[in-house]
Structure 1
Amino acid sequence: MSFQIIEQATKYDVCIVGSGAGGGMAAKILSEKGFKIALVEAGPDFDPANPEQRTQLRWPYESPRRGAGTQRPFGDFDMAYGGWNIDGEPYTRESGTNFDWFRSRMVGGRTNHWGRISLRFGPLDFKRKDYDGKGDNWPIGYEDVRPYYDKVDKLIGVFGTKENIPNEPDGYFLPPPKPRLHEMYFKKGAEKAGIPMIPSRLSILTKRVNKKRQACFYCNQCARSCTVYGDFSSSSVLVKPAKDSGNVDLFVNAMVREVTTDKNGNATGVHYIDKTNLKDYKIKARVVILAASACSSARILLNSKSSVHPNGLANSSDVVGRYLHDSTGSSRMAFLPSLMDRKRYNEDGVGGMHLYTPWWLNDQKNLGFTRGYHIEYWGGMGMPSYGFGFNMEALNGSVPGRNREKKKAGGYGLSFMDDVKRFYGSTLGMSGRGESIPRRDNRCSIDDNTLDKYGIPVLKFNYEWSDEEVKQAAHMQDTFEEIIDSMGGVALGEKPGKDSNYGLENPGRIIHEVGTTRMGNDAKSSVLNKYNQAHDVPNLFVMDGGAFVSQADKNPTWTILALAWRASDYLADELKKGRI
């Protein structure tokens, strides 16, 4: 296929594709070192303080649809432009695959709406194969990354407490917020069951870290992105200061088709389609960094074919797109009679949990599965979103003495309002988020028979959970019921069983996909070296979750940030020494 490509006049030192955690960090570090950067984003510019884009502190009735729409899967006020399904941007699946791919098209990407759970990987997480014989070790260890975790903590801000748990490394913490009432009940039940709960570690400011960002004012709306920059979003904390350096040109609504190469197969820049006029453009650069998300970066590489790279760029190993894996997830809701009929008061807190349970069974080897999970908790009396309600009959049947009443609960009108007031704040829930074992055949590849609306071949997914992940979900459900029972609650609904994989979510649903361009010391079995540099193409780097060898039970963002900073320092040194 031939294109009439318009070449941008400037040749940049570095072209970065993607402005989320990895791309934003690379842009900030490299621009502040004096390099000229082209930052390319597939969506529009975004600033949560912009009155035209702000959704924080909007009332539910201000929603144009009063609820979630096809393009806003978490509701109209959630700050994610995109979703699992985007008009004109399909993806396909192999038979038997249920992988769901979430994409966020905006400056800052997914960091504008994530849960801000900011956990370091521990020493064990980088070397799991040594412990259980499964998967592969990373080519680096915790001590290699720790200095950069420290830098990320200090730059961005994360609250928490020092706990001295071996595989849950402590960092530089801001004071954590106090537990809310439902969390204190959870803690009482968990401790009775022998399950730890500690203050959460979230990148939300409980104290100011610089003059440009204010502390959280506890509106519980972090998913809407913060107008005072009190939480971490790449758009406001990384991209904004990078642009202020004067060394960054931002290209928005730019859908990258491929990385361009010279006759020797080295990267020369990127070819993108401007989504506003559908014309093709080319950006020239000495170095290309892909940070578009694990699957999007893999897609770009696989579509970047040439005579030197017939299997896709940096893919002599045939590993690009392989070892795709996402966190496991299973959840349960409960009703706590003790929280009925209580006085209304503002207990919003931060936009997320104040307490959580880290994985507590690393020393047990007879669980039937080999990788762990942490537990996240929710509940309380935050403002209901549109569509908020209860199954009043089910709840009334859970209250001692009320299941024998002949009168049906609520329905509509005053009786319904009365029941809502009685039960409001008494429902709560928990979710497990666990580690899956990467497998070579879980992958994304190019579907040459399907194009998106920009004429770019789309991804096809092939992914199956193994018995390891299913057994882990079963353990989650047993743990949930134990906690609920120990705190005097009632589990709602039927307990998920084997027929539903014990409530195990489809892969992709937790939005933690990683591993498609894994790092390693052997170029025959990995795509990147230990500095996120492509083995096959020295002036090509991947600085998103694709570099992960394994996921751990932790959210990946803090590790993406730390590795991107580490790789950017390495790249800057290589450029200054003339080795790239």
Structure 2
Amino acid sequence: MNDVQIKKAAKVYDVIIVGSGAGGGMAAYQLSKAGANVALLEAGGYYDPADAKYITQLKWPYDSPRRGAGTTRAFGDFDAAWGGWEIEGEPYTNKPGSEFAWFRSRMLGGRTNHWGRISLRFAPDDFKRKSMTGIGEDWPIGYDDISPYYDKIDRLIGVFGSKEGLRNEPDGIFLPPPKPRLHELMIKKAGTKLNIPVIPSRLSILTQKINDERGACFYCSQCGRGCMAYADFSSSSVLVKPAIKTGNVTLINNAMAREVLTDAATGKASGVSYVNTLTLEEIAIQGKVVVLAASACESSRILLNSKSSRFSNGLANSSGVVGKYLNDSTGASRSAFVPSLMDRKRYNEDGVGGMHVFTPWWMDNSKLDFPRGYHIEYWGGMGMPAYGFGWGIEGLNGKIPGRDGKMKPAGGYGAGLKDDFRRFYGAYVGMAGRGEPVPLESNYCEIDPNVVDKYGIPVLRFNYKWSEHEIKQAKHMQDTFEQIIHEMGGIALGSKPGPENNYGLAEPGKIIHEIGTVRMGSDPKTSALNKFQQAHDVKNLFVVDAGAFPSQGDKNVTWTILACSMRTSDYIMEQAKQNNL
């Protein structure tokens, strides 16, 4: 790279953070509050869900210019998701036989703007899977190390739930949960008969106000559109905005990081080179500490592209593990028609933006033929219909119970079609398993030697396949779904997935929970980071996204990203005060 072509900024920041999602937003919040001068780089544009320019909340489905089609956003026009699995000019590739789908978010706050707000703590056993089962890898930290930070996150951000005393699902500091809706009461009743726990869900949505900056949920069920009351957690509104108000954060949007720069004499990180995505100008900024939080795959891409004579294999990669042990949550789902939910009186059943109940992992894997567990998420009820909803009528071979109780052809045209849809509305339920895979060295991302994006930055190439562990787990999910549906008196829609399609196991990457490409560990020969997510090779370089995690857990990872980032940020300030960085 020719330095003459790069514009160099004169200011030297205390910390440069790449990425404004859960990890980056928390680092910016914590470090700026402690007085550090921070540059926050975000590859996407500015976003504020309370700004009139961005509000899509409470719009009717028919207000969508494309009637809800995801032609400009992956989940439809109104969803707060700028980006997707495919972005024009920003390709990635797969090796033959691989099938990894990589979701990139291009907006302030990243993927925290459109996630499900499922906010679960990892359990004590999640940190020591290898010791317990001989499969996978132990973390260099345990639950006791991270638990105080979970507590701080609960208080700072807010999460509703209930005290259950479950070993695999540690309790937190909870706001009151919303009441279950009718279909959820039926799911709970069925679960009780089957000895499957169904408990209040744990979502980072404010059922009560916790401060003057954020309002309480008003139950429109549209968290995915971005909340103008800031009642749900998004990094952009809950962390980045307060960080900017300190006066210690310089936010730089549309900044696509190319590489971490290093000092030739010391090998320490000295700054970040990024491309302005609007002008295509390349700019280098200087910093005393560099924190990567660009997402697991993007952070590994930056490190692998940060080559020099000292770091010929990529930065922080003397172990050779950067990019390796990539894994995403498993996912399989099933939906059903429940005749007893037909012909109901109409009332507002929106609720919060997500499930009011869920099923935590309840079984002992030592008695099963797969080594890791999963939780179950549920949906259904009389929420706002999407444009063009058919809600599974086709899964019943086009027939539904008539008013006389006999099966009849569904709909047709005009008044008959409208009547059938009205009767069917609210009688549809669904469930999805989200499980823990076993991290494998053979699942990885690397730099494609032949492809660059429109900014001239080499792109990632993926190699990923599910193992028999995940396939057997998906089979167990499908068997469980059918048990619950049958106990509810429901009719499962479509054919039950079988071995020919891995029992409905979603394509890797489709659950958007990827972790593990810059794993932490105690041994520098087998890990890239230490227990504080500090690079073994470069002491002033940190990674605070899920790339640092050695394993997934059967939980969504966002709460653990936040807690670990807060812990790392405190460590950075402590080490900076001691001149150790």
Instruction: Provide the TM-score with structure 1 as the length reference.
Output: 0.98
Looking at structure 1, the residues matched to 263 and 386 of structure 2 have their Cα atoms a distance apart, in angstroms, of: 53
Question: How far did 1:66 drift?
Answer: 1.2
Equivalent residue number for residue 344 of structure 1:
346
Shift of 1:390: 3.9
Number of equivalent positions? 578
For the pair 1:128 / 2:97, whether they are aligned, the reply is no
More deviation in 453-462 or 66-75? 66-75
Deviations 1:513-549 (A, max 9, x none): 0000000010000000000100000010000000001
Alignment of 1:537-576 (within 5 A): 537-576=538-577
Whole-Å Cα distance in 1 between the matches of residues 365 and 545 of structure 2? 32
The offset of 1:411, in angstroms, is: 2.2
Segments of structure 1 that go 5 or more residues without pairing to the other structure are: none
2:41 is matched with 40
Counterpart Cα distance in 1 of 2:342 and 2:59: 28
Deviation, structure 1 residue 189: 1.0
How far does the alpha carbon of each residue in 1:150-198 deviate from its partner, in whole angstroms, 9 at most, with x for none?
0000000000011110121111000000000110011111111110100
Structure 1 position 131, deviation (Å) = 1.5
Counterpart code for 2:155: K
Question: Alignment RMSD, CA only?
Answer: 1.3
Rounded Cα–Cα distance in structure 2 between residues aligned with 1:403 and 1:524: 67
Residue 249 of structure 1: aligned partner? 250
* SS of alignment partner, residue 16 of structure 2: strand
State the match for 2:489 in structure 1: 488
Measure how far apart 1:401 and its partner are.
9.8
State yes or no: 1:423 paired with 2:424: yes
SS of 1:58's equivalent in the other structure is coil
The 5 Å alignment of 1:104-503 reads: 104-263=105-264, 264-361=266-363, 363-392=364-393, 394-395=395-396, 397=399, 399=401, 408-503=409-504
Residue 304 of structure 1 and its aligned partner are, at CA, apart by 0.4
Task: Measure, in 2, the Cα distance between the counterparts of 1:536 and 1:403.
Answer: 70
**Aligned-residue offset at 1:367:** 1.1
Structure 1 residue 2: Cα displacement? 2.3
Structure 1 counterpart SS, 2:367 = coil
**1: distance between equivalents of 2:219 and 2:196?**
28
Query: Is this contact kept in 2: 1:393–1:408, CA < 8 A?
Result: no
Corresponding residue number in structure 2 for 1:2: 2
Contact 1:159 1:176 in 2 (8 A): yes
Using a 3 Å threshold, how does the CA distance of structure 1 residues 277 and 283 change in structure 2: closer, same or farther?
A: same
Report how far residue 9 of structure 1 moved.
2.3
State the one-letter code of the partner of 2:163.
K
Q: Percent identity?
A: 65
**SS at 1:323 equivalent:** coil
| Aligned partner of residue 136 in structure 1, secondary structure | coil
Deviations 1:218-256 (A, max 9, x none): 000000110010000000000000000000000000101
Deviation at 1:55, TM superposition (A): 1.0
Query: Following TM superposition, by how much is the alpha carbon of 1:347 offset from its aligned partner in structure 2, in angstroms?
Result: 1.0
Mapped to 1, the partners of 2:522 and 2:131 lie a distance apart of: 16
State the SS of the aligned residue for 1:44. Answer: coil
- Cα distance in 2 for residues equivalent to 1:292 and 1:402: 57
Worse-superposed segment, 396-405 or 91-100? 396-405
Instruction: Please tell me the residue identity of whatever aligns with 2:2.
Output: S
Relative distance call for 1:402 and 1:283 in structure 2 (3 A) is farther
Residue pair 2:399, 2:409 contacting (<8 A) in 1 also = no
Shift of 1:400: 8.6
**Matched-pair contact (CA < 8 Å) for 1:190–1:487:** no
Q: How many Å separate the matches in 1 of 2:109 and 2:51?
A: 14
Query: C-alpha separation between the residues in 2 aligned to 1:399 and 1:480?
Result: 23
Moved over 4 A (4+): 400-405
SS in 1 for 2:441: coil
Asked whether the 8 Å contact 1:392–1:410 carries over to 2, the reply is no
Give the conservation status (yes or no) of the 8 Å contact 2:332–2:504: yes
| SS, match of residue 365 in structure 1 | helix
1:61 match: 62
In the aligned structure 2, how far is the partner of 1:553 from the partner of 1:409? Answer: 39
Tell me by how many angstroms 1:63 deviates.
Answer: 1.2
- Cα distance in 2 for residues equivalent to 1:187 and 1:482: 13
Separation (CA, whole Å) in 2 of partners of 1:401 and 1:77: 36
Distance in 1 between residues matched to 2:332 and 2:308, nearest whole Å: 43
Deviations 1:435-475 (A, max 9, x none): 00000110000002001000000000000100000000000
Code of the residue aligned with 2:443 in structure 1: it is: N
* TM-score of the aligned structures, taking structure 2 as reference length: 0.98
Check whether the contact 1:71–1:83 (CA below 8 A) recurs between aligned residues.
no
Gapped runs of 5+ residues in structure 2? none
**Cα offset for 1:397?**
3.7
Q: Report SS of the residue matched to 2:236.
A: helix
